[in-house]
Amino acid sequence: MTWSVRRASLHDKPALQGLCRVAVGPDDYVLEGLEDLILRSVVHLATDPEGRVVGMASYRPLLDGAAWLGQARTHPDYRRQGVARAIIDSFAGLARTSGVHTLRLWSDASNEEGVAAFSAAGFKEIARFTRVVGAPARGTPKSKPRGFDEDLWRRIDRSPIVGKGRRYASHKWYFLPATRPVVFGLAAKGAFHAFGETVIALADREDGEELWFTMWAGDPSEAIEEACRCAHAMGKARVETFVPHDPGFLLDARRSGFEPGSWGSEAVLAELPVAAANPRRRVRPTYRELNARRAGHGHAHGQSDTLGWARWNG
């Protein structure tokens, strides 16, 4: 079957709400922030020949020049029929024309259909993480905001935490590569806080009850405890992070009172490289070039005297 894919608008909100309820259930977290998702991200939906909405996903550019795909939902009656693939292909086209070099996403390992869908589309697994959730803790935060310098970069570059994540780390609910430009960009946004050898990044939502944080360097237990203190100082109700899916890190999290969340218990992080679009080179003279020739000023920009119809190479 052929699926039509287009960008969603607020007019599609009721249909998307219905899709989320039937695909996930009445407690689907997407329902709460669906309007904001439509307004702040690129949401593509797929429809059947009768115009029924059968799938959706969102696309958002990232700091490293990649784009994040999330909130993928497919109607149960239409799974394994190419709905997700059609939406991914539409995002790949958007990425090519936007200069985005990579599409990135995660799906829980238990979601066999989701893993099969992104694998069939060409995505390759690069790492696994576990989302853990804990409670704030009383105490004065020890960390201070940390700007970028060579010492910060060396700590992160050599961090065993980063190594266990195969040089990827979470920021909010998405993932970024642990590269120098990304670290510089996060530092410029004021994300990093540090004390001693411990470096964490905070990414709270002002209108949310949770504080998202990331362990970047230092002792994992100290990083988790510091995030809990920061969450209490900020008045947050809970603390969340993704840790590398590693027994040692999961044990550190449990010792600090954290448990795997209701979703993301084994997040399979995957990427799809996107080939850049072939830029078309202009060969038609501009008005300035034409006027220069008519005025007898020679060959503007080294073009020949023969002027033809508009031509494009590419």
Q: Where are the domains of the chain?
A: 4-100, 130-266
Domains 4-100 and 130-266 share a fold: yes
Residue 93: predicted pLDDT = 95
pLDDT digits (tens, 9 = 90+) for 16-32: 999 999 999 999 989 99
Q: Is 186 left (phi over 0), alpha (psi -120 to 50) or beta?
A: alpha
Query: What confidence tier does 307 reach under pLDDT thresholds 50, 70, 90?
Result: very low
Reported as a pLDDT band with limits 50, 70 and 90, residue 126 is: very high
**What is the structure's pLDDT at 308?**
35
Question: What does the mean pLDDT of the chain come to?
Answer: 90
Tell whether the model's pLDDT for residue 154 goes beyond 50.
yes
Q: Check: CB of residue 128 under 8 Å from CB of residue 168.
A: no
Measured distance CA(163)–CA(231) in Å, rounded: 26
For 160, other C-beta atoms within 10 Å of its C-beta total: 13
Instruction: Answer for the pair 147, 41: CB distance below 8 angstroms, yes or no.
Output: no
Distance CA(307)–CA(59), nearest Å, equals 43
Give the model's pLDDT for residue 313: 33
CATH superfamily of 130-266: Gcn5-related N-acetyltransferase (GNAT) (3.40.630.30)
Which pLDDT score is estimated for 278? 65
For the residues 211-231, what does the mean pLDDT come to?
Answer: 96
| pLDDT at 2 (0 to 100) | 85
Q: Taking 80 as the threshold, does the pLDDT of residue 291 lie above it?
A: no
Statement: residue 162 has pLDDT above 90: yes
Would the pLDDT of 298 be above 60?
A: no
Across the range 287-303, mean pLDDT stands at: 61
**What mean pLDDT is predicted for residues 89-117?**
94
Q: What is the pLDDT of residue 312?
A: 33
Reported as a single tens digit per residue, the pLDDT across 170-201 is: 998 899 999 999 999 999 999 999 999 999 99
**4-100 — its CATH code?**
3.40.630.30
| Segment 231-255, tens digit of pLDDT | 999 999 999 999 999 999 999 999 9
DSSP state letter for 249: H
Q: At what angle do helices 150-157 and 180-188 cross, to 10 degrees?
A: 130
Specify the pLDDT at position 169: 97
The pLDDT, as a whole number, for residue 299 is 44
Residue 21: the pLDDT is 97
Q: Of the spans 255-259, 300-304, 306-310, which averages the highest pLDDT?
A: 255-259
Residue whose C-alpha is closest to residue 69's, from 93, 96, 41, 40: 41
The pLDDT of residue 131 is above 60: yes
Q: Quote the pLDDT of residue 207.
A: 63
Spatial neighbors of 255 by CB under 8 A, at least 6 apart, are 221
Enumerate residues 6+ apart whose C-beta is below 8 A from 178.
Answer: 156, 157, 159, 162, 165, 167, 168, 169, 216
pLDDT higher than threshold 60 for residue 300: no
pLDDT at 141 over 50: yes
